[in-house]
Chain A
Amino acid sequence: RKEVEQDPGPFNVPEGATVAFNCTYSNSASQSFFWYRQDCRKEPKLLMSVYSSGNEDGRFTAQLNRASQYISLLIRDSKLSDSATYLCVVNGIIFGTGTRLQVFP
């Protein structure tokens, strides 16, 4: 089993839609969870940290479910500019392979 797993997608959603991604991790002792976004052939950009109590930043909400060992990212009111690959990170340095999101007009 991989340390971090993500559905590669793509998730194709219309503008204004709400979309959610999950990321599962195998090590129950994992700490330091993050979400990044990566545009094609660019560097990853930090989106948000994931705290035990959850974290919200504008249209983005991140949650941690320790019992089921996954983190989630919810994007509300999707914009065309949200189209990217979303990477989850566990233990600070273990990156998932990403979930691709494509928002269409």
Chain B
Amino acid sequence: NAGVMQNPRHLVRRRGQEARLRCSPMKGHSHVYWYRQLPEEGLKFMVYLQKENIIDESGMPKERFSAEFPKEGPSILRIQQVVRGDSAAYFCASSPPDSAYEQYFGPGTRLTVT
């Protein structure tokens, strides 16, 4: 059973460009979470999604950030007009339908904004 997959693993963007981060949950998992981790800091919750539905986006910045989890395909975290402060590791996690919050993490995408 493949684990949570994220791609790309590393992403470099110039200021003002768009970043698209992808996350494929574990097979059979229906919940997806996105977190951001700055160097030497803890994980910060961003958004919790089920298929075609945002359950909790209380951690998402109000502007430039959006997330989706379509019926088919991976979950996407999209950052428009990136700034240097967006440089971080972005982790995705998934959990099974009968055990919300029991999360299994992907390897993360390291975003660097130059």
A residues near B (Cβ < 8 Å) are 32, 34, 41-46, 49, 87, 89, 91-98
Question: Can you name 11 extra interface pairs (CB under 8 A) apart from A46-B102, A87-B42, A93-B45?
Answer: A32-B100, A43-B106, A43-B108, A49-B102, A87-B43, A92-B101, A93-B33, A93-B101, A94-B45, A97-B41, A98-B42
Name 22 A/B residue pairs within 8 A (Cβ), A-sorted.
A34-B101, A34-B102, A34-B103, A43-B91, A43-B105, A43-B106, A43-B107, A43-B108, A44-B105, A49-B102, A87-B42, A87-B43, A91-B101, A92-B100, A92-B101, A93-B33, A93-B45, A93-B48, A93-B101, A95-B42, A95-B45, A97-B42
Are the C-beta atoms of A44 and B101 separated by less than 8 Å? no
Binding site secondary structure of chain A: loop
Q: How large is the interface on B (under 10, 10 to 19, 20 to 34, 35 or more residues)?
A: 20 to 34
| Bound complex: CA A34 to CA B107 (Å) | 19
The interface residues of chain B lying within 8 Å CB-to-CB of A44 are: 43, 91, 105
| Bound complex: CA A32 to CA B33 (Å) | 15
Nearest CB on A from B102, distance (A): 7
